[in-house]
Every structure is written in structure tokens, then in C-alpha cells.
Amino acid sequence: MRLKDKVAVITGAASGIGRQSAIRFASEGAHIVAVDLNRQAGEETAEQVEANGGKAIFVEADVSKASDCQRMVVAAEESFGKLNVMFNNAGIMLGEDGDAESTTESVWEKTMAVNLRGVFLGCKYGIPAIRRAGGGSIINTASFVALMGAATPQIAYTASKGGVLAMTRELAMIHARENIRVNALCPGPLHTELLMNFLDTEAKRNRRLVHLPMGRFGEAKEMAEAAVFLASDESSYITGTDFLVDGGLTAAYVTPE
């Protein structure tokens, strides 16, 4: 099993990439700390893991709060004895997020609090625990929009994910000789509730689809497969990367320097 006896904290575990990753990680032998603000759905994720023969606990937490992030790491060590993988996946995409003129400061600040500060806090408290375990992997969910911008304006979301990429590279350099790898998972447009609620008209969805060489939205389970690789020892020489899983989108539109 590719993640046998590893302990993974996964934020945003109530749905989408987080839920699929929790289930997939557990199928490869990992013990799961499923973290989310949505208690009911988060507990359902943990129950699904256990129903499939895995081990999981649920921790209700707001990743924008330092005390909650510290608590989820403590829960991992107290429940399973260590922490090997920190998957900072929780994120929001607000419908009111538009261009610089129309986006309010409150939308900007809320987006940054979850998408950027939440990743920072996950790393802040996760890194010491991973160090105590002798090393491991940090995966930060970014996005293709951080590399090329979004066809449908979402300035706060795009900026927050750009920050995640920059922070990932910095942390990768700082901790490279401590056996702590840090990578950014960059999904393309996905058929998840988060994106479909944002792309709430056929016109908006088609505007995204027309850019995708594969002609379809990705699936959360496809991101989970990539996350398993980054969490496992198979990626032992990979750190500081923008790990794109985007159906060929950036290859079609981003010009190499």
C-alpha cells in the first residue's frame, strides 16, 4: 500500500477533492484526520472511510483560525501518534468575487482568510509535527488560475491561489533538507459543487469548457489520485512544484519563457 501507516490531515474534507482524497488515501493505508467546518458532511467523510475498512477521525475546524489549525494537528498526534502528510485543501470561491472594481473588501478579506491564511496556518502548525515524525509531505491546493488567470473574473480567488504558489515554493526551499517536501496541487476546472455554484449559468460554464483541450471538466477523484502520488514516497524527489492536473489547459495557453 502506497501510504501504509502514514497519518494525513486533510482540510476541506467534507466534499469535493477533500472527501475523495480522504477515501483514496485511506484505501492506500493512511490514517485520516478529516477536517472541515461542516460537521455533518465531515463526519460523513470519516464514516465512509471507516465503512471501507480505514481509520479516520473528524475534527471540526475553521482553517482561518490559528487555534483551530493547531487543534487539528494536536488531534492527529494524539489519535494516531504522528503526522506525515498535511493536505491544505480547504478553500472557498465566492459568487460575489469579480473584477477589481466590483469585488468588495469583505469578499477579498474572507477569500484571503480561508484560501491563503488557512494554508499558512496549516503549514505553521503542521511542519513541526511532520518534523517530529522524521519528515513527510505537504500538499497545498492552488489552481491553474494562479498561472494564467481566469476567463470568468474572480480576482480574490486568483490572487489567493497565486499566494499559495509563492508560499509553497518558499517553504519547499526552507525545509528541503529536513525531509519535508512541499508541493502545490494545481487543478484545472472541476465538476465540483464549488465551481459549479460559481459558474452558475450555461454561458459561464461554456466559457471555461471552450478552453479545455480534453473538452470536459475534471473530477475530484482525479485530483485525489494526484494527491496520493504527492503524499507517497513515490514523489520523494519532488518539491517546490506547481503540480498541474488540468486536462491540458495551461499547455494550450501558457507560452514558455
> Which whole number is the average pLDDT over 181-194?
87
pLDDT at 39 over 80: yes
What's the pLDDT band for 207 if we cut at 50, 70, 90? low
State residue 49's pLDDT score.
Answer: 98
Q: Which residue has the higher pLDDT, 207 or 178?
A: 178
Task: Flag the least confident range among 77-81, 112-116, 201-205.
Answer: 201-205
Secondary structure class of 103 (helix, strand, coil):
coil
User: Which of 254, 257, 7, 208 has the alpha carbon at shortest distance from 126?
Assistant: 7
Supply the mean pLDDT for the chain. Answer: 93
Written as nine digits, the cell of 124 is: 505553521
* Domains of the chain, earliest start first: 7-245 (3.40.50.720)
Q: Is the pLDDT of residue 196 over 70?
A: no
Calpha distance 179→181 (Å, rounded): 6
> What integer pLDDT is reported at residue 206 of this predicted model?
65
Across the range 66-94, mean pLDDT stands at 98
* pLDDT surpassing 80 at residue 192: no
Strand partners, 88: 140
Active-site residues, by number, are: 157
The pTM of this model reads: 0.94
Extended beta strands in the chain, E state: 7-11, 31-36, 55-60, 85-88, 136-141, 180-187, 242-245
Write down the pLDDT at residue 17: 96
Confidence of residue 254 (pLDDT cuts 50, 70, 90): low
What are the pLDDT digits (tens) for 87-145? Answer: 999 999 998 999 999 999 999 999 999 999 999 999 999 999 999 999 999 999 999 99
